[in-house]
Amino acid sequence: MRDLLKLAVDPEIISLAGGLPAGETLPVQAFSTCLDEVLARDGAASLQYSPPYAPLRAWIAEHMRSRGVACSPDQVFITNGAQQGLAILSTMLLDPGDPAAIEAIAFTGIQQVTAGRGADVRAVAIDPAMGADMHALEVAFQREPRPKLAVLVPNFHNPLSATMPASARKTAAELAARYQVPLIEDDPYGMLRFEGDPLPPIKAYDQAGWVFYLGSFSKMFAPGVRLGWIIAPENMISKITVVRESMDLETSTLIQRAVHEFIQRGHLETHLADMNALHKERRDRLLAALESEFTSDESWTRPQGGLFVWLTLAEGLDAWKLFEAAVAKKVAYIPGAAFAVEGGHENCLRLSFGNVLTERIETGVARLAEAVREGALAG
């Protein structure tokens, strides 16, 4: 996939590929002011090694409580983004050859910390609209030996854009407790809702301490800050710390302090509102373009948040084979098979609308549709 995307560096190419939030909304000036304030106020302390920044941990705990999760600052562990959280927990819980349960269509980063570490992966069926199938999850948990970990993405799934209903979230937490399987809730997109009502995290239903929650500022604030967190049982934080120290010791105290300053000044709420409004506009434009350019032979998801739309083409088409033709027409996407844990889904692809200029979306979809039509004729 990376080799193919190297073809898409031409600035004339309309990229519907990268999972990036809208660049125009990234708070460059406000964050610069926060960095200046931290450096002036805290001086050299902001540039030293230091423990996790306590005020930020306290804010994260309060943020999680506002979403229904019983949480104290002592349960918050700061990471360099959600992907590092996945790597830490996988290293701590999973040895090569151990079974792990993940969704049958999964972000490549999840595949890397499971199958990529030599795990025996059990793929859990997933619906493009409703998320992971709870019966399939229980079947995966029932098999002996039981999984050493499971990973679910409940909100605006990458790449499907699926959102699990509240009933499935409750069931997932109950299954983790019943079968004693550590369940990682990977939730980088939860705050990117622009339509509908927010749902409690799976962690909100966790009564027995088997759910580990991963959050991230990378999507809700800015990818470049590389800042995230784990919510874990308090007695697991010391073990997580030891694993983390084998990787890179700690997260930048300057970034932690500056992000907290940004939040304390009231910028995060405004930033999220502006970003989500623009994402909705671009989602709407993308869906309208798909309706205009494609036919009943194709189908696509209609997300209420996040960054992605999952497009399913007619049977027999191969999105890998279409990719170079699409790039020749100056449009790019991610072939869906890149996310398929057990193969298949060659006729699917992921479209990302977040960081595409609104006025370019229609042109990009028109180019994509032309490549698809020519591919169907050639096939």
Round to whole Å and give the CA distance between 235 and 214: 17
Find the distance separating the first CA and the last CA of the chain, reported in whole Å.
22
Mean pLDDT of 121-147: 97
Looking at the structure, tell me whether residues 246 and 298 fall in a common domain.
no
Domain CATH code at residue 77: 3.40.640.10
Looking at the structure, tell me whether residues 170 and 300 fall in a common domain.
no
Under a CB-based contact definition with an 8 Å cutoff, are residues 8 and 17 in contact? yes
Tens-digit pLDDT profile for residues 295-354 = 989 999 999 999 999 999 999 999 999 998 999 999 999 999 999 999 999 999 999 999
Q: What is the pTM of this model?
A: 0.96
Tens-digit pLDDT profile for residues 181-229 = 999 999 999 999 999 999 999 999 999 999 999 999 999 999 999 999 9
Looking at the structure, tell me whether residues 32 and 161 fall in a common domain.
yes
Mean pLDDT of 45-50: 95
Tens-digit pLDDT profile for residues 65-111 = 999 999 999 999 999 999 999 999 999 999 999 999 999 999 999 99
Domain CATH code at residue 317: 3.90.1150.10
157 CB-side CA count, 13 A: 29
DSSP letter string over 298-332?
Answer: -EE---SBSSEEEEE--TT--HHHHHHHHHHTTEE
Top pLDDT among 178 and 378 is at: 178
**Does the structure show a pLDDT above 70 at 8?**
no
Mean pLDDT of 155-167: 98
Looking at the structure, tell me whether residues 103 and 178 fall in a common domain.
yes
Total domains in the fold of the chain: 2
Looking at the structure, tell me whether residues 200 and 284 fall in a common domain.
no
Looking at the structure, tell me whether residues 230 and 301 fall in a common domain.
no
Looking at the structure, tell me whether residues 156 and 109 fall in a common domain.
yes
Identify the pLDDT of residue 15: 93
Among 244, 265, 286, where does a domain finish? 265
Under a CB-based contact definition with an 8 Å cutoff, are residues 148 and 179 in contact? no
Task: Show the domain range for 323.
Answer: 2-20+269-378
Identify the pLDDT of residue 303: 97
Among 232, 265, 298, where does a domain finish? 265
DSSP letter string over 19-40?
Answer: ----GGGS-HHHHHHHHHHHHH
Q: Encoding tokens for residue 147?
A: 């999984």
User: E strand or H helix at 4, and its extent?
Assistant: helix 2-5
Burial class of 66 by CB neighbour count within 10 A (0 to 12, 13 to 18, 19+) = exposed
Identify the pLDDT of residue 9: 63
For 98-102, 239-243, 244-248, 283-287, which range has the lowest pLDDT when averaged over its residues? 244-248
Percent with pLDDT over 90 in the chain: 93
CB atoms within 10 A of CB 40: 9
Looking at the structure, tell me whether residues 104 and 128 fall in a common domain.
yes
Looking at the structure, tell me whether residues 127 and 241 fall in a common domain.
yes
Looking at the structure, tell me whether residues 276 and 128 fall in a common domain.
no
Q: How confident is the model at residue 11 (pLDDT cuts 50, 70, 90)?
A: confident
Looking at the structure, tell me whether residues 293 and 312 fall in a common domain.
yes
Looking at the structure, tell me whether residues 362 and 300 fall in a common domain.
yes
Round to whole Å and give the CA distance between 54 and 137: 37
**Does the structure show a pLDDT above 90 at 26?**
yes
Top pLDDT among 2 and 315 is at: 315
C-alpha distances in angstroms, 31 versus 238, 255, 271, 353? 32, 10, 11, 24
Among 265, 295, 311, where does a domain finish? 265
